[in-house]
Amino acid sequence: MSRLCLLIVLVAAALGVAAAPAAATSRIKDIVSIEGVRSNQLMGYGLVVGLNGTGDSLRNSPMTRQSLEALLERQGVNIRDANANTKNVAAVMVTAELPPFATPGSRIDVTVSTTGDARNLMGGTLLVTSLMGADGQVYAVAQGAVQTGGVSASGASGSSVTRGVPTAGRIAAGGVVERETGFDLSTMPIVRLTLRNPDFTTAQRIAGVINQHFPNTAYAENGTVVAVRAPAGQDMSRYLSQIELLNVDVDAPAKVVIDEANGVIVMGEAVRVSTVAVAQGNLTVSVQETPQVSQPAPFSRGQTAVVPQSDVTVEETGTQLHVMGGGASLSSVVSGLNALGVSPRDMISILQAIRAAGALQADIEVI
C-alpha cells in the first residue's frame, strides 16, 4: 500500500502589509561579542605512563618508542639497544582552551586523546607536556592523572565490553598558564562590538541605546559591527561593564528553518503569510493479491497451476480548503497549518509550496 499526498495551493489577492512583529528585548552582552576578547586553542604531544598493560605496543607504534627513548635519554637512561616492549606507555595529543585574559599561574582543564593503539588510559599519568598556540609559542604546561569516563573489559576468548570512550580522558585544572596572549583592553581607544546575528536594525538600535546613556560614544559601522569609545575620564573596562547591561529590542529577518531529515520546523516571529487557500488530502492505493489454484478436469492432461489475482482499490479522503488571511501572524500561521491535521513532514511540503506561490513572506532555510 502506498500513500500519495495531493497539495492544492490556490493563491488569492494579497491584502495589506504585514504589521511589525513585537520586539524581543535582550541585554547587549547576550547578543554581541567583543572583538579580540576570545579563547585560544592550545595543543601539545606527550606521553601517558602507568597504564596497566593497556598502552601502545612499542613494536607497532614507532612514535611511542622514539618518544620514550628520547625521554629516558634526557634522564640519563639509554634503552635504544634494549628489546623493550612494554604496554604501559601511550602517546597522546593534549588539547586545551586558553581563556581570554588568562594570567601566568592560573590553571586550565586539558583533554588527553590517544594517537596509537592504546586501549585504555584509565589509571595513567600525563608527563609534563608543553601546549603551544597557533603561533608556535608555548602558553601552558600540562601534567597530572588522567580521568576517563569510559570502561573497557575483554576476556580470553576474544569477547569484550566497552562503555564510553576509554581512549580519551580529561585532567581537571591540569594545565598551568605560562604566558599571556598580550591583549591589553585598557590601552585600546576604540572597541568594536560584533553582533552574533548580523542585522542593520539591531546594530543601529544598539548604538542608539548606548548614546542615550553615554552620548556620542557609539556608532554602527555596518550590520555586524558597532564601534564604541569610552567617555573621557573613564577606562574601557568599566565602560564596557556598564553598556553590556543595557537592554535592546532585537530585530531579526523573517525565516523558516526546516530540518527535513528529522521533520522539524522552526519559524521566526516575523514570518507572515499573504491571503492564501490551502487544501491537503490523501490518496490511498491498496493492492491485494489473492492467489487461486487452477485444477484440471479428471483424466485430462492438464496441470495444476496457481493463478494470481490482483484487487486494486483507490480511496481518497475528504479534502478541506483552509484560508489564511493576509498578513497572518505567526500564531495564525501555526493554527492554520495545524487545522489541516497534517504531519510535520507534510507541513514542510505545504510551506515550500506556499513559498513557491509567493505567499510566504520569509526565507526558507533547509538544514
Question: Do 256 and 245 contact (CB within 8 A), yes or no?
Answer: no
Higher pLDDT, 109 or 157: 109
Whole-number pLDDT of residue 274: 75
- 3-state DSSP assignment of residue 145: strand
Buried b (16+ CB within 10 A) or exposed e, 221-234: eeebbbebbbeeee
- Calculate the dihedral angle through the C-alpha atoms of 296, 301, 306, 307, rounding to the nearest 10 degrees: -70
Give the chain's domains with CATH numbers.
Answer: 2-21+255-285+316-366 (no CATH), 24-37+187-250 (3.30.1360), 40-177 (no CATH)
Using the predicted structure, report yes or no on whether residue 77 has a pLDDT greater than 80: yes
d(CA 184, CA 346): 55
Single-letter residue type at 132: M
CA 190 distance to own-chain centroid: 32
Using the predicted structure, report yes or no on whether residue 286 has a pLDDT greater than 80: no
Question: pLDDT tens digit string along 228-271?
Answer: 999 988 889 999 999 999 999 998 888 888 887 777 888 877 88
Give the chain's mean pLDDT: 80
* Phi and psi at residue 124, to the nearest 5°: -85, 165
Q: How many percent of the chain have pLDDT more than 90?
A: 41
Question: pLDDT tens digit string along 183-230?
Answer: 888 888 999 999 999 999 999 999 999 999 999 999 999 999 999 999
- 3-state DSSP assignment of residue 208: helix
Whole-number pLDDT of residue 89: 94
Of the listed ranges 18-22, 44-48, 122-126, 173-177, the least confidently predicted one is 18-22
* Phi and psi at residue 171, to the nearest 5°: -120, 105
- 3-state DSSP assignment of residue 11: strand
Question: pLDDT tens digit string along 160-182?
Answer: 666 678 899 999 999 999 999 88
Using the predicted structure, report yes or no on whether residue 272 has a pLDDT greater than 90: no
Higher pLDDT, 24 or 358: 358
d(CA 210, CA 244): 9
Question: pLDDT tens digit string along 308-367?
Answer: 665 655 455 555 555 555 555 656 666 666 666 667 777 777 778 878 877 788 888 888
- Arithmetic mean of pLDDT, 98-111: 94
- 3-state DSSP assignment of residue 87: coil
